[in-house]
Amino acid sequence: MAGINELAPILKTTTLTQQLFIWTVFLGLTLASASCNGQMKTNLTKDTLTTQKITTSGQPKVIKNHFIDQYPQTYWFVQCGLQDKSGNLWFGTTADGVYCYDGKSFTNYTRKDGLCHNDVLCILEDKIGNIWFGTRGGLCRYKPTTDKSERKSFTNIPISANGGGYTSNFVWSIMQDKTGKIWCGTNEGVYFYHPVIDLKNDAPVFKLFLNNDSIINKNNLKLKVVQKIVEDKKGNIWFASGDFEGEGICYYNGKSIVNFKPDDVKSFRSILESKNGDLLFLSQHKGVYRYDGKTFTNFTEKTELKNETITAALEDKKGNIWFGTDSNNNNLEKEGNGGTWCFDGNTFKLFTTKDGLSHNSVFCIIQDRDGNIWLGTRNTGLCRYDGKTFTDFTE
């Protein structure tokens, strides 16, 4: 079986999603081999810790727990986040579960507390205040409670074509539309659940979206590995198709599914609807495409972002658009390129570790109610930008 050193050349030529998939297979084979030989020494003992409230003298920090020692640190990062209605900030990571920041300290929730998996791919707060986590091991829901035993607040939700199996179905994306319907993009396709209609069922039952003969699907799309789902201002549902299936950009108008592949690009990682109604689509390798309702144009083709790997996007309250990029040098001790770019409508400004960024590989960008920009990076890094200075929350 290949070792970590042997995998390195392969990983350098693959995309982020492919890297995650390779490491999933590698880790599974490693653990299985150790178990079969009767020599499996659990390096996961830290995963049995109780929920931690983490603070330090002065500045609170995100403490990395290193649950999976075999997983290289360069592939640990903060990859999703949101601020809930109570003002708490939630951040999902690739190996350390999820962190909740209440403004004073971080609370770390892991598999021990009820998460399906410590690799958290997406987060949603629904209309009644539940927090949903899409993970590499399925979907779970967290109900905020005043009960001291907060572990009881997590519920694992089966979401699979065969009715079970948390470990086989990655939940890449999650969204709640204006009607209250919750959508999930998974390895096996897009699923939905309507809590408004199914109020009596506390254990949600998700249905496969395409398992409906009334949907017009001329291109026989599968909608697998959908990495982002967005509802636009008109109520259309947009899907960004990821690496493995390569179906490009799709949207559902209530009757049929329409498919686009601008410049024959088939793989997209995210979608952002700007305040003016334009949609921005982040491709895997070809930059950002803008759709004005009629035509697609490559938004970054003639900019300094042309050759960057763009991983995340946010439009802030002032109308600036932020882009996170992945450094071509994943070494924890080196800067490489990458960083985060801010576009004010006319010019791009780059921020890197020289300005205070925790790492130049940025995978998550959110804005809090006070207008601060939070950036999740490689090496489980997290920092906050207040418009003038960066504050690093990384251990």
Which 3 state secondary structure label does DSSP give 150? helix
55-79 per-position pLDDT tens digit: 334 567 776 665 555 566 667 889 9
pLDDT band of residue 359 (cuts 50, 70, 90) is very high
| pLDDT at residue 13, rounded to an integer | 44
Count how many domains the chain has: 1
CA dist., res. 114 & res. 91, Å (int): 16
Would you say 88 and 100 are in contact if contact means Cβ atoms under 8 Å apart?
A: yes
**22, part of any domain:** yes
Q: What is the DSSP string of 170-202?
A: -EEEEEE-TTS-EEEEETTEEEEE-TTTTTT-S
Nearest to 78 by CA among 52, 106, 55: 106
**33, part of any domain:** yes
Whether 86 shows a pLDDT value over 90: the answer reads yes
CA dist., res. 122 & res. 99, Å (int): 13
Domain containing 22 equals 1-41
How many C-beta atoms lie closer than 10 Å to residue 119's C-beta? 25
Nearest to 281 by CA among 262, 304, 256: 262
**Greater confidence, 8 or 348?**
348
**Identity of residue 395:** E
8-51 per-position pLDDT tens digit: 444 444 444 445 444 443 343 333 333 333 332 223 233 333 33
The two three-digit tokens of residue 254, written as one number:
């209530």
**57, part of any domain:** no
**149, part of any domain:** no
> Looking at 58-130, which runs of residues are DSSP E strands?
78-83, 89-93, 98-101, 106-109, 120-125
**28, part of any domain:** yes
Q: What is the DSSP letter of 32?
A: H
pLDDT band of residue 209 (cuts 50, 70, 90) is very high
Residue 393 exposure: Cα atoms within 13 Å on the Cβ side = 25
pLDDT band of residue 254 (cuts 50, 70, 90) is very high
Segment holding 13, helix H or strand E: none
| pLDDT at residue 68, rounded to an integer | 54
Is the pTM value of this prediction over 0.95?
no
Specify the range with the lowest mean pLDDT, choosing from 136-145, 226-235, 373-382: 136-145
Whether 311 shows a pLDDT value over 80: the answer reads yes
**384, part of any domain:** no
Mention every residue, 6+ apart, whose C-beta is less than 8 A from residue 196.
179, 180, 181
**380, part of any domain:** no
Residue 291 exposure: Cα atoms within 13 Å on the Cβ side = 18
**275, part of any domain:** no
